[in-house]
Every structure is written in structure tokens, then in C-alpha cells.
Amino acid sequence: MNSIPEPLSQEALSRLAKELTDIAERSQRLIADFVEKSGQINPADTHQEFMLIGQTFMQYAMKLSENPTQMIEAQADLWAQYAALWQTTLQRMAGSESSPIATPDKGDRRFKDTEWSDNLIFDYIKQSYLLTSRWLTDQTGQVEGLEPQLAKKVDFYTRQFVDAISPTNFVATNPAVLRETVETHGENLLKGLQNILNDMERGHGQLRISQTDMEAFSVGENIAVTPGKVVFQNDLMQLLHYQPTTEKQFVNPLLIIPPWINKFYILDLRPENSFIRWATDQGHSVYVISWVNPTADLRDKDFTSYMLEGPLAAVEAIERDTGTKKVNAIGYCLGGTLLSATLAYAAKKKINSFASATFFTTLVDFEQAGELSVVVDEEQIQLIERKMHEKGYLDGAEMASTFNSLRSNDLIWSFVVSNYLMGKEPFPFDLLFWNSDSTRLPEAMHSFYLRNMYQKNLMREPGGISMNEQPIDLGDIETPTYFLATKEDHIAPWPGVYQGMKRFGGETKFVLAASGHIAGVVNPPTANKYSYWTNENKPETEQEWFDNSIEKSGSWWADWQSWVAAKAGKKIPARVPGKGKLAVIEAAPGSYVKVRS
């Protein structure tokens, strides 16, 4: 890093001048576009967002001031840690060996450059940051008398702050960026500025950080390529039926209901990790709902609409197509919450269309709702509802930003450093392409979901919510159910999934997979990764269930297949899309999934 670079050649200087001219021209266009659109921006929304954060920390400070002794002790502890850091730093300056006072957590990739340990100055900066950030986050959990919701918000906002001020995020305090800047004569920063402008243009004046090369993938061409046909559609969804890969199939078809917050092809990224392809290979006649990416004209579609025009319309279409009266259904995340409501509604209405139901990382009891619960107090929901009322929907970019903020180091700041400071182009990655392919959410549906599930947690109560004017009760559900949770899930924490399962009547099975909300689900047996836990008993607490569970290596997919095969009926000649009662509309993955926000 101390080497002196060669002076720039005339060719390099010309290229530099051209890049600066291009940056200036593009910047002017963006500024003009921003000024033109500024009248469409509601300043009250931005003001309220900052006010909500400010109010959160004012309430926190008031509670903190009620116990000055605790604060003095905490400050003294921080100074003691700094004194220890100074001592070890002086020892290193004198040439002595010393153990670090603070080291990065396992899996923290921000400080992997060797300069963070080898260089005395950067080592001090790193340890100083780690001491301070951990002290700040620790304090949020030690203040007595904080209401649980306020404590969650303080913790969330504090973690956002300490992640943002990491020394890795700034040119002057990141050794890898400094080294790159010296070696390239600052060309990395110019490229980074170009990348910022690209992302600003892509976001129509708002910064939408590129997580992957968006031009490297095309839905239906090199992603979501399992062969199939669209055989039914309505305002809210297309129904896909996949080409069989076996001569015979189970008589009961498999219906997959994905969440409409994301697109269905998370279950069909590549042939080697496609759950849809794998289920077809196991002899299932697979149907999948592909939700529409709604616009303002669908603003009045509510949760009932999604039930009537989603799973209930799908099972009716499948029965018409195949003549079979029952399906095995899978609901993923929010799709599982909808499936739960549908099963309870079907029980009230004596609709006997479901042979079994499987739930992937699904909450129906939102008492332990994970980190998303920080955005569901009354003030936050009012802000979201005002934004939705102006457009008729919640913009997909806003939902994506919320999810990214839950893992800001991995999904925000790592790309800020790589794209903008190092000047690198995003690496092609199918999972991040899917993550960036966000969808809009209709006003009526999303408001109902936030208020009745996340805020009031009414779904767990008998008669707490109504579907199509019918009060429902999860206890009425007698359909055999398989619940899959994942151990590191920050969206649907597994203890919450376990407690929700206990609200159901009838036969239930609970399985816990390693990893998180996506990787724990999309884990094909051929990958030979992770593990899963089973326990046929269902004790009162989730911890007791886990303590007496059996850990098994590899994927849970085979365990589920053994379970669902018993509910799938006999084998019959394989069904070919378009050869039943439903005509082919278009080839899979269909047109709905290709509409981008």
C-alpha cells in the first residue's frame, strides 16, 4: 500500500477527462429530473419518518435518565475498555505481542483484509469501532422499564446506525479502498461514481443499490426454466402446470402458493436447486400460483380477494383440469399465512379440497414476529397507509429496502463498498437477482395484513378475523399439516412458527431446518448441506421440543416427501399440461412474473 504508482499516461488522462465529462452530464440530467419530480414528493412523509426515529430515541433517553447510576457505570466500563485498548496498542508500538481487546464476530466479513490486523493504525480503528458499537447495542438491552415494542425499535435503529458508521464504509478508513485508490490513480472512485449514477437512473432519482448484474439473468431463459404451461389466470394470478418427468404421478396434485411479496421462482432458480423441478421428479403433478405485480387498479383487492382468486380459484381450476377433488397444498411465508386462513375458511364452509397442507417458514401467531415487528406500531402503519393511498399500492422498492435493512451489512453496506468505493461491477448471482425483483402490494390487502396480523395478532384468536365475511378459527383445521421452520430465520422466527402450529386441530408435524428463511428452504438433497431436526412429540415450549429432537444431516426435502406421499394417493399416468380440461394460455413461467416494479 506504500508503493508510489506510475504517473498517468496521456491516454489515461484523456479517458479520465471523458469519464468526468460523462459524469457531469449525467449528474445534470438527474438533478433536472429530481427538480421536475420534487413536486410529487410528499415532504410530510420524510419528515414523519425522521420524527418517528427521533421520538423513539427521546423516549429511550428519558428512560435512561431515570437511572443515572447505571449510565455512569456503563460509561466507566466503556472507558475501561478503551484504556485496555490503549495499553495493548502501546505494547504493539513498543514491539511487544498483545492479544486484541475486540475481535470481529464469526462471519463478519467486513474486516477480512489483513491490514485490519497487521497495520497498527487500522487495527486500532477496527477495535475502537467494535468496542463502541457493541457498547451502544448492549445498552439498548439493559435499560429497565422500556416497553417491548420501544426496545425493539431502539435496538433496530441503533444497529442500523452502528452498521452505517463502520470504518469499512469510508474511503479514508478502509485499507482495501485506499490501496485500490492509490494503485488505480482514483479510477475506482470514478467507476464508483458511475455506478452510483447508474443506480440513481435505475431508481428514477432514488438510489437503488445494485446487488447483482441485472442483465445477466432473464426470467424464463436462464432462470425459472422448468418446463410447464400457464393453464388458468385471473386478475391476481396465473396458474402454472409443470411438465411431468415421470411416467406416473400421484393422483392428488401439488399446489404451491408462494408469497406475493416476492416472486415464485425462488423455488425454481436453477434446475439443480429447483424445488419445483425436484417435486416433479418425485412424481407430483405440480401446479404453482404466480401472483400478479399489481398496479393502482387493483388497490381494493384485499386478503379475502387473494383467498378467493388465489388458492380457492386454483383448486377449482385444478379439479376442472384433472377431475381430482383434492390437492396437497404448500404455502411459503405469507403464502402460508393465506393458506392457513383458507383452510380455516374451508372448514367453516365444508369445502373439502385439501388432502394435506405444508407450511414453509409461516407465521400465524405473530407474537414472536421477528425484526419486521419494528415497523408495525400505529405511527409506522399510518405512514405506510398514507403512501399506499397516494399510489394505490406499496412500492416494491420500499418493501425491498425494509427487508435489506434487516441484514444491512450483507445487503446494503457490502455493496456500497464494492460498487461505489472499490468501483467493481456487481457479480452475477441468481438469488440476489430474485431478491432485487421486488413486487408491489395492493393497498387494501397490505393494510389488512399489517393491522390484523402483525399489529393486533388477531389470526390466532378464534373469530379474530373474517374471510369473505366469515369469522374463522384455526382450531377448526383438521387437514394434516407439515410445518417447516428454519433455525436462523429473522423474518419468521422458528419459535413463533412452532407456537402457531399449536393453534391447528388435527395431525401436525414440525420440522426445524438449519440456516435461514431462504437457504434453509431451498436446500436440495444433492447439495448435502446443513441439517434438520425432528421430534414427533409436541411439548408446550419450543425449547423443550428442540432439546428432545433428533438432528439429521442433509436436506429435509426427503423427510417431507415421505410424509406427503402418504397423502398423495395412488399413482396414475402422468398428466401433461394442456391435455386436461384447461387449455394452454402460454408457456411457463408466464407473463405475470415478468412484470417488474
DSSP element (H, E) containing 257:
strand 254-257
Q: Are 545 and 498 in contact (CB under 8 A)?
A: yes
pLDDT at 405: 86
CA distance 592 to 236: 9
Q: What confidence score (pLDDT) does residue 19 get? A: 60
Residue 263: its pLDDT value, please?
97
Give the H/E segment covering residue 289: strand 286-291
CA 386 to CA 392: how far, in whole Å? 10
Please check whether residue 400 is in contact with residue 596, taking contact to mean a CB–CB distance below 8 angstroms: no
Q: Which helix (H) or strand (E) holds 495?
A: helix 494-501
| Residue 576: CB atoms within 10 Å | 12
DSSP secondary structure string for all residues of 223-245? BS---EEEEEE-SSEEEEEEPPS
Residues 6 or more apart whose CB falls under 8 angstroms from that of 270 comprise: 223, 430
What torsion, rounded to 10 degrees, do the Cα atoms 345, 349, 352, 353 define? Answer: -50
How many CB atoms lie under 10 A from the CB of residue 204? Answer: 12
Q: What is the pLDDT of residue 59?
A: 80
Structure confidence at residue 97 (pLDDT): 85
Q: What is the DSSP letter of 410?
A: I
Q: What is the dihedral of CA 551, 554, 557, 559, to 10 degrees?
A: -40
> Which residues, 6+ apart, have CB-to-CB distance to 81 below 8 Å?
101, 102, 131, 135
Q: Give the list of residues 6+ apart from residue 229 with CB closer than 8 angstroms, or none.
A: 240, 241, 243, 577, 578, 584, 585, 586, 587, 588
CA torsion angle 370 374 375 376 (round to 10): 80
The residues, ordered by sequence, that sit 6+ positions from 330 with a Cβ below 8 Å of its Cβ are: 254, 255, 256, 257, 339, 357, 358, 359, 360
* Per-residue tens of pLDDT for the chain, all 597 residues: 555 556 656 665 566 566 656 656 655 555 555 555 544 555 555 556 667 777 877 887 787 778 888 888 888 998 999 899 999 999 999 888 889 999 999 889 999 999 999 999 999 999 999 999 999 888 877 777 778 788 888 888 889 999 999 999 999 999 999 999 999 888 898 899 889 888 888 877 778 899 999 999 999 999 999 999 999 999 999 999 999 999 999 999 999 999 999 999 999 999 999 999 999 999 999 999 999 999 999 999 999 999 999 999 999 999 999 999 999 999 999 999 999 999 999 999 999 999 999 999 999 999 988 778 877 788 889 989 999 999 999 998 888 888 888 888 998 999 999 999 999 999 999 999 999 998 999 999 999 999 999 999 999 999 999 999 999 999 999 999 999 999 999 999 999 999 999 999 999 999 999 999 999 999 999 999 999 999 999 999 999 999 999 999 999 999 999 999 999 999 999 999 999 999 999 999 999 999 998
Q: In this structure, which amino acid lies at residue 583?
A: A
R_g of the chain computed on alpha carbons: 27
| Vertex 308 angle, CA 383 and 378, to 5° | 15
Polymer length in residues for the chain: 597
Q: What is the pLDDT of residue 378?
A: 86
- The SS3 of residue 109 is coil
User: What are the pLDDT digits (tens) for 456-500?
Assistant: 999 999 999 999 999 999 999 999 999 999 999 999 999 999 999
Q: For 228-379+390-395+440-594, which CATH class?
A: alpha beta
CA-CA distance, 439 to 596, in Å (whole number)?
A: 7
Residue whose C-alpha cell is 504517473: 7
**588 catalytic per annotation:** no
Q: Find how far residue 343's CA is from the centre of its chain.
A: 25
Omega before residue 271 within 30° of 0, cis: no
SS3 assignment, position 353: coil
Among the residues of 6-42, which ranges form H helices? Answer: 10-37
**CA separation for the pair 308, 316 (Å, rounded):** 10
Which 8-state DSSP code applies to residue 350?
T
Cβ atoms < 10 Å from Cβ of 384 = 22
Q: 229 forms bridges with which residues in the sheet?
A: 241, 587
CB 243 within 8 A of CB 576: yes
pLDDT of residue 402: 82
CA dihedral of residues 140, 141, 143, 145 (deg, nearest 10): 120
- Listed in order, the ranges of the chain carrying CATH 3.40.50.1820 are 228-379+390-395+440-594
Q: Which of 333, 369, 375, 568 is catalytic?
A: 333
292 within 8 A of 226, measured Cβ to Cβ? no
Report which residue type is found at 138. D
Cα–Cα distance measured from residue 80 to residue 258, given in angstroms and rounded to the nearest whole number? 52
**How open is the CA angle 390-393-394, to the nearest 5 degrees?**
100
- Look at residue 493 in the predicted model and tell me its pLDDT: 96
* Under 8 Å between Cβ of 126 and 116: yes
> Cell 377431475 belongs to which residue?
323
Which positions ≥6 away from 457 have C-beta within 8 Å? 365, 366, 367
The helix/strand/coil state of 355 is strand
pLDDT number for residue 217: 96
Q: Strand locations in 445-537, DSSP E?
A: 466-467, 470-471, 481-486, 508-513, 531-534
Angle between helices 10-37 and 187-202 (to 10 degrees): 30
* Dihedral of the alpha carbons of 376, 379, 383, 389, in degrees to the nearest 10: 90
Please, are residues 225 and 50 in contact by the beta-carbon 8 Å criterion?
A: no
H or E stretch covering 91? helix 68-93
Alpha-carbon span 13 to 10, nearest angstrom: 5
Closest CA to 325 of 303, 305, 346: 346
| 332: three-class secondary structure by DSSP | strand
DSSP bridge partners of 572: 249
